[in-house]
Amino acid sequence: MIRPSIKGVGLLYGLTTLFGILMVVANILEPVIYGRIIDEITRSVSDRVSAASAFQAIVPLLIVWAGLFIAGAVSSGLRMYLSWIAGNRVINNFASKIYERILRLGIRWHNDSKPGDLMRRFDRAWNGLWQLQLVIFRSLIPSTLTFVLVLVIGFWLNWKLTVVALIPVPIAFLIGFISFKRLEKRQKKINKSWEKIFTHVNDHIVNILSIKTTTSEERSQKTMRQYLRQALRRQLAINKWWALTEAGQDSLTVAARLLIFSFGVYFVIAGEISLGVLITFLGFANFIYLPLQTILAHEIPNLTEWYTGVKRIAVWWYKIPEIEERPDPIKLKNVQGDIEFNNVTFAYKKEPAIKNVSFRVPAGTTAALVGESGSGKTTIAMLINRLYDPNQGSIFVDNKNLRDLSIKSLRKNIGFVIQENVLFQDTIINNIRFANPGASRSEVINAAKRAQAHAFIKSLPKGYDTVVGHRGVKLSGGEKQRIVIARVLLKDPPILVLDEATSSLDSKIEHQLQKALKEVMKNRTTIIIAHRLSTIMAAEQILVFDKGRLVEKGRHASLIRRSQIYKELWRLQVGGYIS
């Protein structure tokens, strides 16, 4: 999952590592230099060398020390800058790829997902990967190199004192390992608690109208407080453990310094090492235990959280899309629009939504789907767009099985309008252009006029450049519906699927729009669901559904005589709607 995101960033990471090595070398050599300076001063004092001569002897060492400081500072700055560039490229790649994979997942997965959970996981994975790569290249690698290089120089200077310095290290590693293993699973549970909070906030903000009209603000706040208390209680329990771990690491660092100093003083008195070497080892203590403390007490707690954040999104990364193209799909060209269902059965879960449905809509004709709510009409529309695949049977467009077709070429040739269309938080012109981004402004306006939307759009303060707000909240249901219909008209597809396309419109606007739609429907294959009776009566065939089965088909005059279900729907929908 991470490997594709770092593709093409190897050179930057290599340079980051190189400058990290230079920084580490410069930093570690500093204690060696000032240890040598101490030895030179000690020798000068014992040999009664003049101050001028003594200072002249240490000038080269001071110059080297200054050079190491400059080299370390420059390397550190370049390392940080390059790691930022690499990090931004990695998370951009990751965000793009994970978003692509989420978009590829089937409509069933999206319907079952919770937007708050999705956004929280996405945010945590994004931040987790950013922090992981920064920690690895700006902390873990330099700290590890520092630790190894210090040991090499330490054993070269005095192996006994180096062994003494290493005594607390196994204990530090053991504490860090136990902490990581103990708390990784608990952190996963806590992440779920935070995701629950985001889901609650998203769900209740989206449904703010229902909350206000039912005066449920206090209940919503109460639930939020409960979720927060639960998440904080669990997080604090982990934080207490990490606090104890950090205190233990600090204690080990102090103990290590005492050991180095105690044994070092003994070795100096015994003549095994010089005072400068002891000073060097005391300086090394920072480079031995500070990296360990950084990694074990600080980075591992964060790594646990960031790693689990990235892992939480891995199930989406590796999830196989429900709807996939075959390796060499057929691209639909010169579409006539002939649609055929052949013994199609489909179930969203266990119970079939439609059963053994067979019908054909010849190219350029109109078919109306009628039946009670839940009888399978919308399912037919979803299957035509290949948002789902049948469990049994086959669907054909122009005698080509949908499973053999390029999904993009199929959907480009279908205009789909549903009852509850949601707009993007963008301008009206961009919302209409969404299915045809290259359309000119005049083409957009013409489509809006045909959809009976031009008049109300022009009355808005910024006209076509008006931003509609989140999910089109600034517009009425009928206005949103007309913008979506304008989008479909601009797309100009050979197949139209209208699922209660005018249900949100008042009678006057609907009558005007129906006239426009009749013109649009000429020479196009059109599937109409729950339209006005005037349109249904004009359809070449009406398909009557009952409990997922196609029970009757024919024209209006024939069905009104022989179909009990159709006659009952007619009687119940005196106002002109069949639903």
Per-residue pLDDT of the chain (579 residues; tens, 9 = 90+): 666 667 778 788 888 888 888 888 888 888 888 788 888 888 777 777 777 777 788 888 888 888 888 988 898 888 888 888 888 888 777 777 777 777 777 778 777 777 666 777 777 777 777 777 777 777 777 877 888 888 888 888 888 888 888 887 787 777 766 766 666 667 667 777 777 777 777 777 766 766 766 677 788 888 888 888 888 887 777 777 767 776 776 777 778 788 888 888 888 888 888 888 888 888 887 777 766 666 665 666 666 666 666 777 777 777 777 888 888 999 988 899 999 999 999 998 888 999 999 999 999 999 999 888 888 888 999 999 998 999 999 999 999 999 999 988 998 899 888 766 678 888 999 989 988 888 899 999 998 988 888 988 999 989 999 988 777 778 877 788 888 888 888 888 899 988 876 655 666 666 766 766 776 777 889 998 865 555 677 788 999 998 899 999 998 888 888 888 888 777 776 544 444
Helical spans, DSSP H, in 270-376? 275-293, 300-317
Tell me the residue type at 254: V
Domains observed in the chain = 3-317 (1.20.1560.10), 339-572 (3.40.50.300)
Report pLDDT for 420: 67
State the pLDDT at residue 503. Answer: 59
What is the number of other CB atoms lying within 10 angstroms of the CB of residue 8? 12
Q: State residue 497 phi and psi, 5-degree precision.
A: -125, 110
Dist. CA 92–CA 313, nearest whole Å: 16
Question: By the 8 A CB rule, do 490 and 433 touch?
Answer: yes
Dihedral, CA of residue 477, residue 482, residue 486 and residue 488, to nearest 10: 60
Write out the two tokens for 407: 């999904």
**Is 476 strand, coil or helix?**
coil
> What is the crossing angle of helices 217-269 and 275-293, to 10°?
160
Q: What single letter denotes the amino acid at residue 139?
A: S
Q: What is the pLDDT of residue 575?
A: 47
Q: Is 415 helix (H, G, I), strand (E, B) or coil?
A: strand
What's the start-to-end Cα distance of the chain, in Å? Answer: 46
